[in-house]
Amino acid sequence: MQRFLQSDFFYAFTRSPLAMVSLLVVVLMVLSAVFANFIAPTNPFDPASLNLMNGFTPPMEANMFTGESFLLGTDDQGRDLFSAILFGLRVSLFVGIMAVGLAMVLGVLLGLIAGYVGGWLDTLIMRLADIQMTFPSILIAMLIFGVARGLLPPELREEMAITVLILSIGLSEWVNFARTVRGSTMVEKEKEYVAAARLIGLNRWQIMLRHILPNVLGPVLVIATITLALAIIAEATLSFLGVGAPRTEPSLGTLIRIGQDFLFSGEWWILLFPALTLLALALSVNLFGDWLRDTLNPRLR
């Protein structure tokens, strides 16, 4: 800890207001998502707590029937928007983080194999990556989502939607990890500590995971942060299009989709607040990721 506080990295951090603010926003959002149960005034998914009479209450105003007032207003069901956003944030962050985790594990493993083993495995993995790179990842995510839904029996589709969502976004974002890790692995492979490890008879997997992996993780963290922003936006997009989180477990994207229906009737807050939350989240993760990339690894630009 002492060492961290004295590092150049920490110093650069304290000198960049943008990095500090964006990290603060991200941390606040993660905390409010984790502790949504305790912060939220109501549980938006408990039908018993909903009062349809409270529907369409504007923010900070008293409802004309019940006299109740809500910080950010309510939606058509009389659901408190503030609570719905907290829980939606939870779904969005969960899907985003899990998807990035999946993409990272997959990408790092394939990158290590491609870089260390080489040969036809390398060619295969990299050709696959090249082909996948020519298609936008959101399209691939949609396709995987559709195929996974097709493979599931209809009664499980709603239930598994979140898992399927994680899978499709994760599988569409592995390429960047693999390419970077492959590159650094090929450099590390030639270094003497690898030769030494080979000499004492460690097998490939031991060398790759215990010796090379720790040395190629730096850029991976940067890519993970940047990918997190992409994943959050991808999740929101899919959910907004109706092929993501189900209405029973709405994410920010789902809430925006619901809100769009009420724009014409003048209930703008149902759309605005979830949209602003998504924007703040995506923007701060993005800004922090950019800062991280510039500070840790200018070469990745």
Partner 1 sequence: MLLIILRRLGQSIFVLFLVAFISFMIFRYVGNPVDNLLGQEATTERREALIESLGLNDPLHVQYFDFVVRALQFDFGVSYRTGMPVAEMIVQRLPATIELALVSAVFAILLGVVAGVYTAINRRGFIANAILSSSLIGVSLPTFLIGVLLIWIFAVELKWLPSFGRGTAVDLGFWSTGFLTISGLKSLILPGIMLGLYQMTLIMRLTRAEMLEVLRQDYIKFAKARGLPDRTVYFGHALKNTLVPVITIAGLQLGSIVAFAIITETVFQWPGVGLMFINAVYFVDIPVMSAYLLLVGTLFVLINLIVDLLYLLIDPRLRDGQLRRAGS
- State the minimum distance, in angstroms, from the CB of residue 270 to partner 1: 12
* Residue 279 contacts partner 1 per CB under 8 A: yes
Among 14, 77, 19, smallest CA distance to 45 is for 77
| The one-letter amino acid at 101 | G
* Residue 292 contacts partner 1 per CB under 8 A: no
Contacting residue, 12, 138, 186, 296, with partner 1 by CB under 8 A? 138
Q: Cβ closer to partner 1: 78 or 246?
A: 246
Contacting residue, 145, 174, 269, 273, with partner 1 by CB under 8 A? 145
Quickly count: other Cβ atoms within 10 Å of residue 200's Cβ: 6
* Residue 291 contacts partner 1 per CB under 8 A: no
| The one-letter amino acid at 37 | N
* Residue 165 contacts partner 1 per CB under 8 A: no
Burial code (b: 16+ CB inside 10 Å, e: under 16) for 54-81 equals bbbbbbeeebeeeeeebebbbbeebbbb
* Residue 153 contacts partner 1 per CB under 8 A: no
Q: Cβ closer to partner 1: 100 or 236?
A: 236
Structure tokens at 287: 């800004």
Mask: binding to partner 1, 240-269, rule CB under 8 A, as x and -? xxxx------------x---x--xx---x-
* Residue 41 contacts partner 1 per CB under 8 A: no
Q: Cβ closer to partner 1: 67 or 153?
A: 153
Among 135, 115, 258, smallest CA distance to 183 is for 115
- State the minimum distance, in angstroms, from the CB of residue 39 to partner 1: 25
Contacting residue, 18, 39, 53, 283, with partner 1 by CB under 8 A? 283
Burial code (b: 16+ CB inside 10 Å, e: under 16) for 136-158 equals ebbebbbebbeebbeebeeeeee
Q: Cβ closer to partner 1: 62 or 147?
A: 147
**Contact indicator for 260, 271 with CB cutoff of 8 Å:** yes
**Contact indicator for 241, 179 with CB cutoff of 8 Å:** no
3-state secondary structure of 129: helix
**Contact indicator for 211, 183 with CB cutoff of 8 Å:** no
Among 30, 36, 28, 26, smallest CA distance to 83 is for 36
- Of the ranges 50-58, 184-192, 217-225, 275-283, which one interacts with partner 1 (CB under 8 A)? 275-283
* Residue 71 contacts partner 1 per CB under 8 A: no
- Of the ranges 64-72, 74-82, 205-213, 276-284, which one interacts with partner 1 (CB under 8 A)? 276-284
Residues contacting 38, CB < 8 A, separation 6+: none
Q: What is the length of the chain? A: 301
* Residue 136 contacts partner 1 per CB under 8 A: yes
Window 207-236: residues binding partner 1 (CB under 8 A): 233, 236
* Residue 108 contacts partner 1 per CB under 8 A: no
- State the minimum distance, in angstroms, from the CB of residue 211 to partner 1: 35
Give the binding site for partner 1 (CB under 8 A).
Answer: 131, 134-136, 138-139, 142-143, 145-147, 149-151, 154, 157, 233, 236-237, 240-243, 256, 260, 263-264, 268, 271, 275, 278-279, 282-283, 286
